[in-house]
């Protein structure tokens, strides 16, 4: 949440920062701002999206070779010009951007107020900035030292970057709990929340770790630990191309990412699934196979869409591996003192690898002796680094705020793990194992077939776009997909939507059904199919509109439903990889038909780095 970007070197800083903010806008878009340092420190900031900041700066002299920028997801203080970052210190000489939350801002603010500090915003960031400046004025020999002293008192999560008018050749940055990557150029450095603002200039980057501080000059990067000792920066080569973070001819990232799913799933299977040999190879599993086979329990932890992937994996692991599985919302798990035994395996699911709740839940479980296995998309992210083993999802950068291809890639990895483990434990027969391997290999092409129905789904979306509510129902493997379909629609179209197990309807929610209420049945053919047919009849009897995702040639559902979208037949365990795709498209086209910004839905940010 919140994107930060900074530059120091010999180029013009503003265009680099502006482009960087546009790339990081998925992290928040309540306001945007830049601080530029030529001889004097100038700060420009504006409520709203980066484009509004850009428009407000046309015609201004923005010459500077050092600068910091910020795109905000509001935590402390409403979205407004005055709460926008960068903030300026009371001497006027320091500017700071911050991503995270300072939890103990209140007592520090009280102290500062008693010393006569005046606050211009409602943010915790301004408190930290005044605190740093106060220490700089009275107790420290340098800004670097002042930052170090201040951070020792801070409780919370942060990445901060400071610009000092008196030292135009130095940026000071520090991190705990929020991400920071530094790109190394020739006599220049680029700092950002992720690599997307950097890749166009350099592929050499350093991922900053928690509690590290960076003193960044055009020609030097000094890293230090809290004890003021120098650390050797570990330089990594970025494995990402610029095209991966551009729209590539699509109107929105969300649509591009939905259409990238055949490739994302294929990339995820590549080098792992070998249908000819009938094998699944995964380094992270092979290395720890005995430990995983012996696991008494698997706990799947995630948030939002990643939690939905976990819920489906619960069904799949129990079916294929016969290991007891629990699935937990990270935000609940981290606070409710769960019983964890050494030897419990925790599978952490996260696209960004930076979700604060998931990260802390894992840290806690690791301390209690659990083994952490990460299923993460962003390489080198905090959750990936905290995990003791893992398997990347290889979906490529996901920029649309609503998760799509990361979800199908998460499912793909989780299927691979469950199949491999189930076979290794002899919980499934060789025949079933080989059948699933062959079926999984066919999924990318089958997703392509579903995508060919995009125009039909668009028509459906336009027809139902004015509905006030939607229900999504499914059973078994399709129940988590019903939840995911409802979440996608809420996020992107702001239509109220709920997902339920279809059989739960008669225990309460059926009271909601009235004439015309659209109810989406995720009804691909499986063991529950006949039951679902009865559930759909119950809805029809109450004049609800039945929209169904069905398997091709399903004549029964075709007759009951008002609208159907057919997907190719697949093994019932794997069918969710197909049935989720029309629901993603339904959400996308509904948002589009309502004229909404589907890549940046209101109030949301992609990477939830605050709790």
Residues making contact with ligand F6R (CB under 6 A): 303-306, 350-352, 355, 358, 402-403, 487, 491, 608
Integer CA distances (angstroms), 83 to 27, 274, 414, 417, 452, in order: 17, 54, 42, 46, 45
**Residue 87 host element (H or E):** strand 87-88
Distance CA 310, CA 73 (A): 27
As measured in angstroms, the least distance from the Cβ of 301 to ligand F6R is: 10
How many CB atoms sit inside 10 A of residue 116's CB?
Answer: 7
Beta-strand runs (E) in 351-440: 371-376, 389-392
- Six-digit token string for 271: 């080098």
Nearer to ligand F6R, 352 or 478 (CB): 352
- Sort residue 186 into left (φ over 0), alpha (ψ -120 to 50) or beta: beta
Put the strands of the sheet holding 3-8 in their side by side order: 41-47, 31-37, 66-72, 3-8, 189-192, 181-184, 204-207, 235-237
Q: Assess contact for 216 and 192: CB atoms under 8 A.
A: no
Q: Which is nearer to ligand F6R, 355 or 478 (CB)?
A: 355
Nearer to ligand F6R, 154 or 482 (CB): 482
- Would you say 71 or 410 has its CB closer to ligand F6R? 410
Do 298 and 325 form a contact (C-beta atoms < 8 A)? yes
- Count of C-beta atoms within a 10 Å radius of residue 72: 29
366 is catalytic: no
The CB-of-445 to ligand F6R minimum distance in angstroms stands at 25
Give the position of tokens 């680094």. 385
CB of 598 to ligand F6R, least distance (A): 11
CA distance 364 to 374: 15
Shortest Å distance, C-beta 303 to ligand F6R: 4
Residue 601 C-beta: closest distance to ligand F6R, Å: 9
The minimum distance between CB 402 and ligand F6R, in angstroms, equals: 4
The two counts, helices (H) then strands (E), for the chain are: 20, 27
Give Cα separations from 412 to 312, 473, 481 (angstroms). Answer: 11, 22, 14
Residue nearest to ligand F6R (CB): 304
Angle at 527 between CA 524 and CA 529, to 5 degrees: 50
Contact 567, 524 (CB under 8 A): yes
Residue number with CB closer to ligand F6R (65 or 306): 306
CA distance 191 to 171: 10
SS3 sequence of 102-145: ECCHHHHHHHHHHCCCCCCCCCHHHHHHHHHHHHHHHCCCCHHH
Give the span between the Cα atoms of 460 and 411, in whole angstroms. 27
Q: Taking the complex as a whole, how short is the minimal distance between the CB of residue 206 and ligand F6R, in angstroms?
A: 22
Distance from C-alpha of 342 to C-alpha of 448, rounded to nearest angstrom: 43
Minimum distance from residue 352 beta carbon to ligand F6R (Å): 3
What is the spatial distance between Cα 190 and Cα 534, in angstroms, rounded to a whole number? 59
- Provide the minimum distance between the beta carbon of 491 and ligand F6R in the complex, in angstroms, as a whole number: 6
Question: What is d(CA 271, CA 45) in angstroms, rounded to the nearest whole number?
Answer: 47
Q: How far is the CB of 26 from ligand F6R (least distance, A)?
A: 10
Is the separation of the CB atoms in 29 and 48 below 8 Å?
yes
**Closer CB to ligand F6R, 280 or 580, in the complex:** 580
Token representation of residue 25:
């806008």
Nearer to ligand F6R, 202 or 352 (CB): 352
Torsion angle in degrees (nearest 10) through CA of 32, 235, 216, 9: -70
Q: CB nearer to ligand F6R: give 178 or 305.
A: 305
> Considering only CA atoms, which of 354, 399, 106 is closest in space to residue 242?
399
C-alpha closest to that of 359 among 374, 369, 345: 374
Query: Could you give the CA distance from residue 208 to residue 233 in angstroms, rounded to a whole number?
Result: 8
- Shortest Å distance, C-beta 376 to ligand F6R: 8
Closer CB to ligand F6R, 47 or 490, in the complex = 490
Would residue 321 show up in a list of annotated catalytic residues for this protein?
no
Shorter beta-carbon distance to ligand F6R: residue 151 or 581: 581
Name the minimum Å distance from CB 356 to ligand F6R: 9
Closer residue to ligand F6R (CB): 399 or 549: 399
* Cβ-based nearer residue to ligand F6R, 73 or 557: 73
| Residue of 2, 268, 303, 321 marked catalytic | 2
**Marked catalytic residue, from 405, 446, 525, 606:** 606
Residues with a catalytic annotation lie at 2, 606
């Amino acid at each position: 949440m919140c994107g930060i970007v900074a530059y120091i070197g010999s180029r013009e800083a503003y265009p680099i920062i502006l482009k960087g903010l546009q790339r990081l806008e998925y992290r928040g878009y309540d306001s945007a701002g830049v601080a530029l340092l030529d001889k004097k420190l100038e700060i420009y900031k504006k409520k709203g999206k980066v484009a509004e900041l850009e428009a407000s700066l046309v015609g201004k002299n923005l010459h500077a070779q050092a600068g910091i920028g910020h795109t905000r997801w509001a935590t402390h203080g409403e979205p407004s010009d005055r709460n926008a970052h960068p903030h300026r210190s009371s001497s006027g000489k320091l500017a700071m951007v911050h991503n995270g939350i300072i939890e103990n801002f209140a007592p520090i603010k009280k102290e500062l107020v008693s010393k006569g500090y005046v606050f211009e915003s409602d943010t915790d960031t301004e408190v930290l900035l005044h605190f740093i400046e106060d220490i700089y004025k009275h107790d420290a020999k340098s800004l670097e030292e002042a930052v170090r002293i201040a951070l020792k008192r801070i409780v919370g999560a942060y990445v901060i970057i400071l610009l000092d008018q008196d030292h135009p050749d130095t940026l000071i940055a520090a991190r705990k709990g929020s991400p920071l990557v530094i790109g190394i150029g020739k006599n220049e450095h680029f700092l950002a929340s992720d690599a997307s603002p950097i890749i166009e200039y350099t592929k050499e980057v350093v991922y900053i770790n928690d509690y590290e501080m960076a003193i960044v000059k055009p020609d030097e990067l000094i890293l230090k630990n809290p004890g003021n000792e120098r650390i050797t920066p570990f330089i990594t080569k970025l494995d990402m191309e610029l095209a991966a973070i551009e729209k590539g001819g699509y109107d929105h990232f969300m649509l591009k990412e939905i259409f990238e799913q055949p490739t994302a799933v294929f990339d995820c299977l590549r080098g792992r699934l070998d249908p000819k040999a009938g094998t699944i190879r995964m380094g992270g599993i092979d290395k720890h196979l005995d430990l995983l086979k012996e696991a008494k329990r698997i706990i799947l932890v995630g948030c939002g869409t990643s939690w939905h992937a976990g819920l489906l994996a619960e069904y799949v692991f129990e079916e294929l591996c016969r290991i007891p599985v629990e699935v937990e919302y990270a935000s609940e798990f981290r606070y409710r003192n769960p019983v964890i035994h050494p030897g419990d395996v925790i599978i952490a699911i996260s696209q960004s690898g930076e979700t604060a709740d998931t990260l802390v839940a894992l840290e806690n479980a690791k301390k209690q002796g659990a083994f952490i296995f990460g299923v993460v998309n962003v390489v080198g992210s905090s959750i990936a680094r905290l995990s003791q083993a893992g398997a990347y999802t290889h979906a490529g950068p996901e920029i649309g705020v609503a998760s799509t291809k990361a979800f199908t890639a998460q499912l793909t990895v989780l299927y691979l793990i469950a199949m491999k483990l189930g076979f290794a434990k002899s919980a499934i027969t060789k025949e079933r194992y080989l059948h699933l391997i062959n079926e999984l290999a066919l999924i990318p092409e089958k997703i392509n077939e579903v995508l060919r129905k995009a125009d039909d789904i668009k028509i459906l979306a336009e027809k139902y776009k004015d509905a006030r509510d939607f229900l999504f129902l499914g059973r078994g493997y399709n129940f988590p997909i019903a939840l995911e379909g409802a979440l996608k629609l809420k996020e992107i179209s702001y239509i109220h939507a709920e997902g339920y197990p279809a059989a739960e309807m008669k225990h309460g929610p059926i009271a909601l059904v009235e004439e015309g209420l659209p109810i989406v049945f995720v009804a691909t053919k499986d063991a529950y199919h006949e039951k679902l047919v009865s559930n759909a009849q119950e809805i029809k009897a109450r004049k609800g509109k039945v929209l169904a995702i069905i398997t091709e040639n399903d004549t029964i559902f075709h007759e009951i439903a008002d609208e159907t979208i057919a997907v190719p037949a697949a093994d019932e365990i794997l069918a969710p990889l197909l049935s989720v795709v029309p629901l993603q498209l339904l959400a996308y086209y509904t948002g589009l038909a309502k004229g909404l910004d589907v890549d940046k839905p209101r109030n949301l940010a992609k990477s939830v780095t605050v709790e």
